[in-house]
Amino acid sequence: MTEFDLVPREYRLNLAFRHWLGRVAALTTAVVVFACASGAALAWANSSLDNQIQQLQTQQALTAQQRTQLETLDARIMDLGRQWQLLTTLRSGAPAEEIFAIIDATLEQGDVWFLSWDFARAGVAEVQQPQTVNTGYFIVVPDGQSMQPPPAWQVDTHLNIRGQARDHSALSAFVRALFAQSQVRDVRLQRTSLRRFAAASVVEFELAVVLGSESS
């Protein structure tokens, strides 16, 4: 028995084309959906990575800022320590009572008198000689010591005096008496002049006295 295909060939081809076109459309849709999902996932991953990078940069910036603040605080502490040491050293200078006692011990009755005076303290660095041993040919520095030891601080009190003396002999005796005091490191006569009055004349003078204290 012979079978006859009553469906036209064009219809079959059209039906096959539509089926293929549907599969292509479905595949294209799947590819588009996958691409969109992948793009969204990549965008989220990129955003998360950017956030992590920003957090790391912020932490590094905070660490650098904290390090800078710590260095600033350390420098401030060292500066305050030096200032405290300097203030402590300056406070160890000759007090006013000692200055009065030194001056009073050098004044003779009625021969020298002061018109004005002032004093100030200042720190002076004294270079100490290293402890060495002379062997005859070489100078040997003991272990643990350097050729240039750190300087010691000597606090000097500078006293400026403007006054008058009966005559040059009285002024000379006053200066010699100042030099005789153990606390006096130096006396500098800065100016002298003869001032005449109707009945007598006096010697006006300006001098600077340096009073020393113990090294620190």
DSSP string across 133-162:
EE-SS-EEPPTT--SSPPPEEEEEEEEEEE
pTM: 0.45
For the chain, the straight-line distance linking the first and the last C-alpha, in angstroms and rounded, comes to 134
Q: Kindly state whether residues 117 and 207 are assigned to the same domain.
A: yes
Cα 65 from Cα 181, distance rounded (Å): 57
216 falls within a domain: no
pLDDT at 67: 82
- For residue 156, give the CATH number of its domain: 3.30.1660.10
Among residues 91, 120, 138, which one ends one of the domains? 91
- Percent of the chain predicted with pLDDT > 90: 3
Q: Kindly state whether residues 30 and 79 are assigned to the same domain.
A: yes
Among residues 91, 109, 141, which one ends one of the domains? 91
62 falls within a domain: yes
Q: Kindly state whether residues 24 and 104 are assigned to the same domain.
A: no
143 falls within a domain: yes
pLDDT at residue 175 is higher than 50: yes
Cα dihedral 167, 106, 158, 78 in deg (nearest 10): 180
Cα dihedral 159, 163, 166, 171 in deg (nearest 10): 30
Q: Kindly state whether residues 78 and 130 are assigned to the same domain.
A: no
50 falls within a domain: yes
- For 99-200, where are the E strands, in sequence order? 112-126, 133-134, 139-140, 152-165, 184-196
By mean pLDDT, which of 65-69, 100-104, 141-145 is the weakest? 141-145
Segment 167-185 mean pLDDT: 87
Tally of structural domains, the chain: 2
Q: Kindly state whether residues 189 and 110 are assigned to the same domain.
A: yes
State the average pLDDT for the chain: 74
pLDDT at residue 195 is higher than 80: yes
171, 112 Cβ separation under 8 angstroms: yes
Q: Which domain does 168 fall in, by range?
A: 96-211
Q: Kindly state whether residues 65 and 107 are assigned to the same domain.
A: no
Give 206's pLDDT tier (boundaries 50, 70, 90): very high
